[in-house]
Amino acid sequence: SQNIYILGIESSCDDTAASVIHNGKILSNVIASQKIHEEFGGVVPELASRAHQQNIVPVVHQALAKANITKSQLNAIAFTRGPGLMGSLLVGTSFAKSLAYGLNIPLIDVNHMQGHILAHFIDEEGFDKPPFPFLAMTISGGHTQIVQVDNYFDMTVIGETIDDAVGEAYDKSGKILGLGYPAGPEIDKRAQLGNPKAFQFTKPKVDGLNFSFSGLKTAILYFIQKEVKKNPNFIEEHLNDICASIQYTIIGILMDKLKVASKQTNIKHIAIGGGVSANSGIRNALKLGEQKFGWSTYIPKFEFTTDNAAMIAIVGYLKFLDDDFAEQNITASARLKI
Ligand code: KG4
Ligand code: ZN
């Protein structure tokens, strides 16, 4: 039987990550998250690429050490080619190319969005793999997509955001409310203590399966400004209700499109991924979908839903089995499509 070790490297945004996969099983999953962006309330690209430069060697070392292997045992190097921030992608891409060249082993390019989706195929006890075809909704600070997945590498984007990502809607709302960055987890926590119907925000009208979140952010900003004019303590006095109402609106937007997507495609296997899949509201809504619409839903282990290198390693493994390798002259691609 085969005995394949692959190193996955992820550097598309603000996390420097490396992971070793042995056949389908993750042996290590190391992440250096960049704290530097918190004080700016968002990722600063120039600072992100500098931090990747500092982090990449120690992170790769740790991933190998935790997997208890040496680099000479690796069969291939997989790396995130895109989409993402160019300066960030360049660090991981150049490092992966050099390492593969130095070790004289194959190089495998990975699409970050396919990584979020194929993370469901990591061997992990207690987590079922979705059967084909399934729908994958990728929701994070950088992405909002609904993808029809007919096979590992046969995917079609059937809906996506035309402006902000859903995580950005959380983070920008949090900024308006004076919360720290990223605000998603705190809004989620407070939402569970508040009344979701306390305040109404209109949902955007967007054609088909696409999403829009920038209008919601503006609506929240105007609403808060208006209320604070009347009562300077409005935010403090109603914070949980405001968070609950924002969350109710956002989850409603996501679920409306997911329901239409499921009906249109007649696919009832629904998988989610990305940082926002940690959200209690979306998790509850999916569970409800199991009862109401006969869905089977799939949510990966938390460490494989936010940006990580294990998802890059699993795609690397699947491509390795297909003999699907990259040439040494491959370049990073900030707007790489699925
Ligand atoms: O996947 P991720 O770690 O990084 C990328 O953006 O690619 O996702 C981070 C995003 C942030 O916008 C954060 O606010 C959001 O995920 N997030 C949440 C929750 N946990 C993280 N949003 C809502 N509820 C949560 N529990
Ligand atoms: Zn991501």
* pLDDT tens digits for range 35-58: 878 888 888 898 999 999 999 999
Given a cut of 60, whether residue 178 has pLDDT beyond it is yes
Sheet holding 107-111, edge to edge: 25-33, 15-22, 5-10, 76-82, 107-111
pLDDT category at 2 given cuts 50, 70, 90 is confident
188 is in an annotated binding site: yes
Q: Best mutation site among 138, 140, 302, 305 for ligand 1, i.e. most ligand atoms within 8 A of its Cβ?
A: 140
Q: Which two tokens stand for residue 301?
A: 């282990």
Verdict on whether the full-model pTM lies above 0.90? yes
Our mutation pick for probing the ligand 1 site, out of 37, 89, 276, 301, counting the most ligand atoms within 8 A of Cβ, is 276
How many angstroms separate the CA atoms of 32 and 125, rounded? Answer: 25
Name the percent of the chain lying above pLDDT 70: 100
Task: Output the pLDDT for position 37.
Answer: 81
| pLDDT tens digits, one per residue of 201-212 | 999 999 999 999
Quote the pLDDT of residue 1: 57
Give every strand in the sheet of 144-151, ordered side by side: 154-160, 144-151, 134-139, 269-273, 296-298
Token pair belonging to 88: 């960030």
**Domains of the chain by range and CATH?**
5-120+304-321 (3.30.420.40), 130-299 (3.30.420.40)
